[in-house]
Structure 1
């Protein structure tokens, strides 16, 4: 092994090393399956778990983890993405711009808030563009952390033709102004008419109804990107599939954001060569 190779070798993991995903509810999360698959691929002696943590319990959770040398960080899901960035000691530029964190990582006795959702959304939107899917008028459901990640990613790609659908329209108006969107927000149940839909809400998740699954006014070349991953095929995606529209499910998003998180937690990137087997397990 050369001196260069020795310098690039990742530092050893602490005994009992683990990362986890937090949120409430959390039982449906597929993140442990993803990270454990990559840990096995690399032969790393570490684990990835899930823990139920709500807004009221986040500060106590982090206070406990600060004193745990085996804790390598956590992914953050609903409903604590916005709260996480407030409690963290520092935040990355993307987390600050998004106003939400989907991961917390200990570094130099501090907890740093990051956001890998933005990069994942950028990859997915870029793939849709490369496939020739139209993007002049898009409909975004939600105003939370996931929706903000979409808006940051869209801004980076120069996409401003977005209609935000929200329960709190005034909150959506503030986001529309902040990101310079071309269209005024509308209530969540307004039927979308345009090129694509991005669902960044829990609507359609197990235990939640699909409030707005009418895709009849999308163009024939249109598409639907649903961030919900449990179930994999939501009612919204079934409606899109029935019309022959392009489909991106929550598994694609989950895996892409997990890849960035994995490297920060465990010190090296995951092996992506066997992702086909991973996707098969996730969609089973």
Structure 2
């Protein structure tokens, strides 16, 4: 039997990870496979007990609602995942289960050109307080950003902010960004501004994210973690207003790339042709 990995969650049918990892296995010429397993929280202990003893199992990605529930079942947890408080990738090393969080570095991957530059000020407005927001906030804090965390529940926003230092972290309610802001931003200057949607608003079947663009500094990068639809109402309006944008597939591919290397010991191709083909498959 060949090496295999998988994604677990509840529900799981919507996951695009098998398409992505299957493409990379094909491109790398690796004789392996990647599937999906639908698991309830109650089924997790028995699942890991069975997988531990399988020498061909390389690990799994973890999606909702298990990113925290899996943590007590693991042998070791990477410091980044521990700090974020969530695991989205589990690697098996001779039956030892190690938890990682690849959401944080995966989120940063499309921002690497901007992060390589020097700035007098870096500010990120993070809309949302869930697991994705925690990973994103941690990643940006490590890159020297001042954080503004907005949540529908102010207490949840404050709880997320409390994970960082008392300085350079601010909280507000999500509807703050829906109200017009009478403020002269001036020129963009030597700063990097980022606005991130880490909520489910704008996803297919959900209402759009209510946001008034007067709250966005000129030149701010608008990054939506949602990838269904690929161009959310937020990104469509941002593009129409001349803001640079990053879609949710970028984060999905970024975190998956790191997980694939953990599972199969190979770096997925990242050349423009391979990237274009992968995106075509993921959006077909």
Assess same fold via TM > 0.5: yes
* Structure 2 CA distance for aligned equivalents of residues 135 and 203 of structure 1: 28
2:82 counterpart of 1:96:
yes
**8 Å CA contact 1:251, 1:283 repeated in 2:** no
**8 Å CA contact 1:84, 1:101 repeated in 2:** yes
* Structure 1 CA distance for aligned equivalents of residues 20 and 64 of structure 2: 18
Which is worse superposed, 121-130 or 138-147? 121-130
What is the match of residue 236 of structure 2?
238
* Residue 118 of structure 1, CA deviation: 1.8
**8 Å CA contact 2:124, 2:140 repeated in 1:** no
* Structure 1 CA distance for aligned equivalents of residues 120 and 204 of structure 2: 30
What is the match of residue 168 of structure 1?
153
* Structure 2 CA distance for aligned equivalents of residues 33 and 40 of structure 1: 11
What is the match of residue 51 of structure 1?
37
What is the match of residue 212 of structure 1?
210
Q: TM-score, normalised by structure 2?
A: 0.84
What is the DSSP-based 3-state SS (H/G/I as helix, E as strand, rest coil) of the residue aligned with 1:231?
coil
**8 Å CA contact 2:59, 2:92 repeated in 1:** yes
**8 Å CA contact 1:227, 1:249 repeated in 2:** yes
2:23 counterpart of 1:29:
no
- Deviations 1:14-48 (Å, cap 9, x if unpaired)? x1432111223322222111111110012212111
* Structure 1 CA distance for aligned equivalents of residues 84 and 61 of structure 2: 16
What is the match of residue 249 of structure 1?
247
**8 Å CA contact 1:213, 1:235 repeated in 2:** no
* Residue 170 of structure 1, CA deviation: 1.7
Which is worse superposed, 208-217 or 165-174? 208-217
Q: Which runs of 5+ in 1 are unaligned?
A: 1-14
* Residue 54 of structure 1, CA deviation: 4.1
* Residue 279 of structure 1, CA deviation: 2.4
**8 Å CA contact 2:58, 2:93 repeated in 1:** no
Q: Quick one: structure 1 residues 247 and 57, their matched pair in 2 at CA, closer, same or farther if it must change by over 3 Å?
A: farther
What aligned pairs does 1:194-205 form with structure 2 within 5 A after superposition?
A: 195-205=193-203
Q: Quick one: structure 1 residues 93 and 23, their matched pair in 2 at CA, closer, same or farther if it must change by over 3 Å?
A: same
2:135 to 131, 142, 149: 149
* Structure 2 CA distance for aligned equivalents of residues 241 and 277 of structure 1: 23
What is the DSSP-based 3-state SS (H/G/I as helix, E as strand, rest coil) of the residue aligned with 1:69?
coil
Aligned length, in residue pairs:
269
What is the match of residue 77 of structure 1?
63
2:26 counterpart of 1:40:
yes
* Residue 130 of structure 1, CA deviation: 5.3
* Structure 1 CA distance for aligned equivalents of residues 4 and 211 of structure 2: 39
Q: TM-score, normalised by structure 1?
A: 0.84
Q: Which runs of 5+ in 2 are unaligned?
A: 186-192
What is the match of residue 96 of structure 2?
110
* Structure 1 CA distance for aligned equivalents of residues 124 and 100 of structure 2: 26
**8 Å CA contact 1:85, 1:95 repeated in 2:** no
CA RMSD, Structure 1 to Structure 2 (Å): 2.5
Which is worse superposed, 85-94 or 169-178? 169-178
What is the match of residue 269 of structure 1?
267
2:106 counterpart of 1:120:
yes
